Amino acid sequence: MSDAKNSNPIALEIAEPSSLNEQAAAALIIAGALVAVADRRVSPVERDEVIRFIRDRGLAPHIVDDRLFAMFDELAERLEEPDFANVVIDTLRPVSNMPLSSHLMELSERVAAADEDVHPQEVQAIKLLRLLTLVLPRAKQVGPGAAGTLPKE
């Protein structure tokens, strides 16, 4: 683990959200951030659109706006690093069993249109998100009945 993660508690919380609600918020934010950084310039209107989308649908009422903005900024920064694909996958995987796909796609399209100029790279980011929501391995169930459910021969 890098020193940056150890010295920044917000980064640690975002990278390893502790609750399903936090994980769902991070998944929504990563979808918007991926599209926002796709054209190499994050517009404030794109970031605002992510937060507005989350607020309008009541998807993370327990998280204050300042925290959502901080999550967006941190994740957008991480998406500029070489391992950006792992960041996206690792953020989406914990909530892959939740019915967020339609929200992720609608949010990504709204972010692309937010600055009134949809770039080809943003379209590619949306296609990547669509693909990930279809093929991302589902989170494994934990609890009674989850283990030992292999069919008998």
Whether 37 contacts 80, CB under 8 Å: yes
Residue 62 confidence (pLDDT):
87
26-83: per-residue pLDDT in tens? 999 999 999 999 988 898 999 999 999 999 988 888 899 999 999 999 999 999 999 9
Query: Is residue 146 pLDDT above 50, yes or no?
Result: no
pLDDT band at residue 151 using 50, 70 and 90 as cut-offs = very low
Whether 107 contacts 32, CB under 8 Å: yes
State the alpha helices, DSSP H only, in the chain: 3-7, 9-15, 20-38, 44-56, 65-78, 84-92, 101-114, 120-135
Whether 75 contacts 14, CB under 8 Å: yes
99-128: per-residue pLDDT in tens? 888 899 999 999 999 988 888 999 999 999
Whether 50 contacts 132, CB under 8 Å: no
CA distances from 52 to 40, 44, 65, 103, 152 (A): 22, 12, 9, 13, 50
